[in-house]
């Protein structure tokens, strides 16, 4: 598999999330990222020690720096369902 480079188009897919009313929704990666500069990173699983202590905090700590470089959105994906992901997100400041 060839590495992904800046500006490459990634295959489309569907992501699940909870809206503000905690209702399950889905969105395509292409529609979510259309016209934006996004960072999408994946983790093996929510609430795992390494992901919770090493992976996600780095993106949170550097979010403003990344946004200063033109990044519009930082998206974390995992194999977990959207209920678990929202609960996990709520554990971060």
Q: What are the residue numbers of the active site?
A: 51
Backbone angles phi, psi at 62, to 5 degrees: -105, 10
Contacts by 49-52, CB closer than 8 A, 24 or more apart: 51/78, 52/88, 52/91
């Amino acid at each position: 598999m060839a590495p992904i480079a800046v500006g490459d188009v990634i295959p489309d897919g569907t992501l699940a999330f909870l809206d503000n009313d905690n209702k399950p929704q889905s969105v395509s990666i292409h529609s979510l990222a259309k016209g934006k500069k996004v960072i999408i990173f994946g983790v093996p699983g929510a609430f795992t020690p390494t992901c919770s202590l090493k992976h996600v905090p780095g993106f949170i700590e550097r979010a403003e720096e990344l946004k200063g470089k033109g990044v519009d959105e930082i998206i974390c994906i995992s194999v977990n369902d959207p209920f678990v992901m929202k609960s996990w997100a709520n554990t971060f400041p």
